[in-house]
């Protein structure tokens, strides 16, 4: 106990994130064009402009917009003809793994690296069987998977690779855009992501024939007016979402810069506490800056991650424990042989330790300092 008075709680809830939004008039200008054309969906003009703009922004050649990040993942699995077993991480959103199930595939969980929290290539190697067709890595929190080693394993064993890049918009390794690795990279443009179109997502591929196939998969299977080439689904992004995305795209760099300032407040104010570590971004990685996360080791820290998360709420600060529910613990996966706890000790520990702090440009550095004051108080009392 320090005896110092508790800092006051925030007057309004402070969420883990807030969506990026353009000035209303910029969005309205795009809406006027949509109204004039009376074209609302099905690969409209704004949709196509956003595909083009994203290709340029992300420095990739082929990108298909879709309705959300979960459908992006599922369509990538379909278009690349995954079959049988697919090796993936349990430390992710259920979206990654549930999309496998939706495609009739069997997830095989491999543990993660203790530092990057991405899938461990050594554990991929040991999980490969004659039924394995593919590897799905997740660039979790915008941290790249070990793309070099995963690529080598895939080539040697003739496996496909999809990266779930839902958190990795704008991530690069040594200046190379993350979406240039693997057979496909999927993105999410959900409201809570760095770049958003309210709901939305995309699939980036290297092969133009795969893009053509994906464009049929998202349009009920159609290619042209008279041919249905695959048993597709409706995964289209509409014009209103595409317009929001187009208006938001120009704001991403400034948002990342504002988040960088907040990250440096958190990193400097929270450093040096026993049992608390900040997730470090390697110098050769430009991270998307979607999250700012701490790890709390409850066996060393004065309180557990869950206790800190609970106590922050009393100050109106709503941090999130992404991803405290390991996919391998979910009722429909926990009986898989690869889901047993002894197979996934690193993922288990990460699930128990990670806490994502409020992190968005509009938070501002003053509020970040206040959050640190609150954490100081909780830590010492
Ligand atoms: N792969 C990975 C690795 C993913 O993390 C995700 C999704 C996907 C794939 C699938 O992509 P999508 O199909 O969703 O495009 C959020 C998002 O809903 C989800 O997109 C995301 N990952 C996941 C990690 O986080 P929740 O349950 O945390 O969302 P929610 O509604 O609690 O929002 C968090 C905070 O954001 C709120 O407390 C307040 C703020 N917020 C939220 C919304 C929706 C706003 O201020 N405004 C808003 O409109 O899942």
Number of domains in the chain: 2
Q: How far apart, in Å, are the Cα atoms of 199 and each of 44, 245, 318?
A: 17, 9, 22
pLDDT exceeds cutoff 80 at 1: no
Report which DSSP code applies to 245: H
| pTM of the predicted model over 0.85 | yes
- Per-residue pLDDT of 85-142, as tens digits, reads 999 999 999 999 999 999 999 999 999 999 999 999 999 999 999 999 999 999 999 9
Residues 198 and 280 reside in one and the same domain: no
| 190 within a domain of the structure (yes/no) | yes
Nearest-angstrom CA–CA distance, 337 and 146:
25
- The answer on 226 and 318 residing in a single domain is no
Provide the pLDDT for residue 349. Answer: 97
Domain end call among 249, 276, 300: 249
Same structural domain, 173 and 206: yes
Per-residue HEC secondary structure of 265-323 comes to HHHHHHCCCCCEEECCCCCCEECCCCCEEEEECCCCCCCCHHHHHHHHHHCCECCECCC
Which atom of ligand 1 lies nearest, measured to the CA of 71? 13
What pLDDT digit, counting tens, does each position of 266-302 carry?
A: 999 999 999 999 988 899 999 889 999 999 999 999 9
Rounded CA-CA distance 176/166 in Å is 17
The domain boundary, picked from 249, 281, 309, lies at 249
118 Cβ inside 6 Å of ligand 1: no
- Specify whether the CB–CB gap between 76 and 218 falls below 8 A: no
69 lines ligand 1 (CB under 6 A): yes
Please identify which residue in the block is written with the tokens 């879709």. Answer: 66
Does residue 227 sit in the same domain as residue 260?
Answer: no
Distance CA 132, CA 154 (A): 11
CATH number of the CATH domain containing 310: 3.90.1150.10
Which residue, judged by its Cα, is nearest atom 16 of ligand 1?
A: 192
Whether residue 116 is contained in a domain is answered as yes
Q: Is 377 in the pocket of ligand 1 (CB under 6 A)?
A: no
**Within a domain: 1:** no
With a cut of 90, say whether residue 4 has pLDDT above it: no
Do 347 and 262 share a domain, yes or no?
Answer: yes
Q: Which of 12, 93, 100 to probe ligand 1 with, by most ligand atoms within 8 A of CB?
A: 93
The CATH number for 166's domain is 3.40.640.10
Segments forming the whole domain that contains residue 104: 24-249
- 219, 249, 279 - which closes a domain: 249
> Does residue 9 sit within a domain?
no
Q: Does the structure show a pLDDT above 70 at 158? A: yes
Average pLDDT of the residues in 28-50: 98
Alpha carbon distance 320, 318 (integer Å): 6
% pLDDT > 90, the chain: 97
Q: Is 16 in the pocket of ligand 1 (CB under 6 A)?
A: yes
- pLDDT of 40 above 80: yes
- The answer to whether residues 222 and 259 belong to one domain is no
């Amino acid at each position: 106990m320090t005896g110092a008075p508790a800092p006051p709680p925030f007057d309004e809830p402070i969420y883990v994130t807030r969506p990026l939004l353009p000035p209303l008039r910029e969005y309205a200008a795009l809406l006027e064009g949509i109204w004039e054309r009376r074209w609302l969906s099905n690969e409209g003009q704004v949709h196509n402009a956003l595909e083009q703009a994203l290709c340029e922004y992300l420095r990739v050649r082929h990108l298909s917009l879709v309705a959300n990040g979960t459908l992006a993942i599922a369509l990538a699995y379909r278009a690349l003809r995954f079959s049988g077993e697919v090796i993936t991480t349990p430390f992710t959103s259920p979206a990654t793994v549930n999309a496998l199930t939706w495609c009739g595939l069997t997830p095989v969980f491999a543990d993660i690296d203790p530092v990057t929290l991405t899938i461990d290539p050594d554990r991929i190697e040991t999980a490969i069987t004659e039924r394995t067709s593919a590897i799905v890595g997740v660039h979790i929190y915008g941290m790249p998977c070990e793309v070099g080693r995963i690529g080598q394993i895939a080539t040697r064993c003739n496996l496909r690779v999809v990266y779930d890049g839902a958190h990795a918009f704008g991530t690069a390794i040594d200046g190379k855009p993350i979406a240039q690795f693997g057979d496909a990279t999927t993105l999410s443009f959900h409201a809570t992501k760095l770049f958003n179109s309210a709901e939305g997502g995309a699939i980036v591929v290297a092969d133009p024939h795969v893009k053509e196939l994906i464009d049929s998969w998202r349009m009920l299977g159609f290619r042209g007016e008279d041919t249905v080439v695959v048993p597709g689904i409706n995964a289209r992004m509409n014009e209103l979402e595409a317009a929001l995305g187009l208006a938001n795209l120009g704001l991403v760099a400034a948002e990342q810069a504002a988040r960088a300032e907040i990250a440096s407040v958190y990193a400097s104010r929270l450093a040096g506490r026993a049992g608390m570590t900040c997730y470090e971004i390697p110098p050769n990685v430009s991270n998307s800056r979607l999250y700012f996360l701490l790890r709390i080791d409850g066996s060393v820290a004065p309180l557990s991650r869950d206790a800190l998360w609970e106590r922050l709420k009393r100050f109106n600060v709503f941090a999130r424990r992404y991803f405290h529910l390991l996919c391998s613990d979910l009722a429909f996966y926990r009986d898989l042989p690869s889901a047993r706890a002894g197979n996934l000790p690193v993922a288990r520990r990460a699930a128990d330790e990670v806490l994502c702090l409020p992190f968005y440009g509009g938070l501002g550095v003053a509020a970040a300092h206040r959050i640190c004051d609150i954490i100081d108080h909780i830590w010492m009392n």
